[in-house]
Amino acid sequence: MLDSQRPTGILPILRAVEIVPKIVIAGQDLRLQENALDLNLLRNPVDRSGMSWNAIASFGPKALHGLNLAAQDFASRRRPAPAGLAEASTHDLYLAPHCDDICFSLGAFALKRRKGVLLTLFSKSGYVARPQTIAALGDERIAVISSLRQREDLAFAEQAGLRPCFGGLDEALLRGHDPFETAKAQDDARQLDGAVIAAIFAAAAEQPKDRQPWLFCPMAIGGHIDHMVVLKVVLRHYNALRARWRIAFYEDLHYASAWQARATGLARFRHLAVELKPQRSLWPIGAAADKLALVALYPSQFVEPPASIKPFTPAQRIPAPAHEALWSAEQT
Ligand SMILES: [Zn+2]
């Protein structure tokens, strides 16, 4: 095969080939369950020139991405988290599309830092896990549910030492959208751009005097349209926001607790944020019971109180403690 005919996605597999043997040597049983990629080929990568390009091309982009992601997870497991990310400031800004997103995705991280602002942007909602428990109808129902969910967020903010703010925006369902119709995200991001960016700067009224604080933004894993709007607006205004904050992106839980949803979401994020080249850092949650106690502050979102930490830790193909995850391109 001529060079010009080789698959364009070949660099990721070469990087993965370099890293995967280390995973095997460490005694980890790495498997990609949802595809038939034969890792034996990668366990003997000595003669790369003898590798069949046809075989590589047949893996498909999904398999390549899954393998690359497992390798990055492994690297983040071994690499210490950047020292700068451990610095907490009262000006740190946690961006939550909905009530509960920061608690589910970064609750243990926020609880440890006990500083910053929690900004819940789409704080008008009509969703509860048990709809029959709310008798009100129409506009009154939206008001009752929004108030209920905001009270849950207030309880979490108090517990985690965060100053709560609500953006007052309608969630996707109230705007008449299927929440997972990702094709609508671009239009919505354009229409809501001014409101979202105004809410972000309004929540940060004071000018920080210490080192640049952090802004924590969802990666939109799971493809919820409101999460995608927040991500797209932050990326569109990245330079203006970066002048004030250091920026890190968090893996959205519970969505990231399913491997395929996580792999798909991270691939989409990488495509949207292609210039950033962020690195993953892993933040163990400590005692699972402590994070579950935070999650339990949101009873309206569960039919039964969650008993397992599994939906609240990112899915992995390597052994890892229950954790939360941030991706950042910041050097410090
Ligand atoms: Zn959400």
pLDDT digits (tens, 9 = 90+) for 184-209: 999 999 999 999 999 999 998 777 77
Q: What is the mean pLDDT of residues 132-146?
A: 96
255 CA distance to ligand 1 centroid (A)?
9
Q: Angle CA(315)–CA(319)–CA(325) in degrees, nearest 5?
A: 45
Task: Spell out the residues 6+ positions from residue 301 whose beta carbon is closer than 8 angstroms to its own.
Answer: 100, 127, 128, 129, 149, 152
Separation of CA 43 and ligand 1 centre (Å): 40
Ion ligand 1 neighbours (CB, 5 A) are 97-98, 101
Statement to judge: residues 165 and 290 lie in one domain: yes
Supply the pTM of this predicted model. 0.82
Claim to verify: residue 72 and residue 90 sit in the same structural domain: no
pLDDT for the residue 58: 53
Q: Identify whether residues 27 and 95 lie together within a single domain.
A: no
pLDDT at 10 over 80: no
Quote the ligand 1 centre to 267 CA distance (angstroms). Answer: 19
Could you tell me if 34 and 151 lie in one domain? no
**Structure-block tokens of residue 176:** 């008449």
Closest residue by Cα to residue 311 from 300, 321, 319, 322: 322
- Between the alpha carbon of residue 174 and those of residues 101, 138, 142, the distances in Å are 18, 11, 9
* Of 78, 110, 129, the domain-final residue: 78
Q: Are residues 141 and 228 in the same domain?
A: yes
* pLDDT at residue number 59: 55
Q: Based on the domain organization, do 134 and 172 belong to the same domain?
A: yes
Write out the residue range of the structural domain in which residue 47 sits: 3-78
> Are residues 171 and 299 located together in one domain of the fold?
yes
Question: For the chain, how many structural domains are there in total?
Answer: 2
Q: Which CATH number belongs to the domain containing residue 141 in this structure?
A: 3.40.50.10320
Give me the DSSP letters along 233-302: HHHHTHHHHHTT-EEEEE--TTGGGSHHHHHHHHHHHHHHTTTT--EEEEEE-S-HHHHHHHHTT-GGG-
User: Among 60-74, 91-105, 240-254, which stretch is predicted with the lowest mean pLDDT?
Assistant: 60-74
Same domain, 91 and 69: no
What values do phi and psi take at 35, rounded to 5? -145, 170
Please check whether residues 16 and 151 belong to one and the same domain.
no
CA of 12 to the centre of ligand 1 (A): 31
Same domain, 304 and 231: yes
Q: How far is the CA of 65 from the centre of ligand 1 (A)?
A: 25
C-alpha to C-alpha distance for 101 and 91, rounded to whole angstroms: 19
- Identify whether residues 156 and 257 lie together within a single domain: yes
Q: What's the mean pLDDT in 301-328?
A: 95
Q: Rounded distance, CA 50 to CA 65, Å?
A: 22
Question: Which helix (H) or strand (E) covers residue 110, if one does?
Answer: helix 101-113
Domain boundary among 78, 113, 141: 78
Question: Counting Cβ atoms within 10 Å, is residue 122 exposed (0-12), middle (13-18) or buried (19+)?
Answer: buried
Q: How far is the CA of 11 from the centre of ligand 1 (A)?
A: 34
Lowest mean pLDDT among 74-78, 247-251, 285-289: 74-78
Residue that terminates a domain, selected from 43, 61, 78: 78
Distance from residue 62's CA to the centre of ligand 1 (Å): 25
Q: Residue 307 — very low, low, confident or very high, per pLDDT cuts 50/70/90?
A: very high
Please check whether residues 212 and 106 belong to one and the same domain: yes
3-class DSSP assignment, residue 217: strand
- The pLDDT tens digits of the residues spanning 210-269 come to 789 999 999 999 999 999 999 999 999 999 999 999 999 999 999 999 999 999 999 999
Query: What pLDDT score does 32 carry?
Result: 32
User: What is the per-residue pLDDT for 51?
Assistant: 41
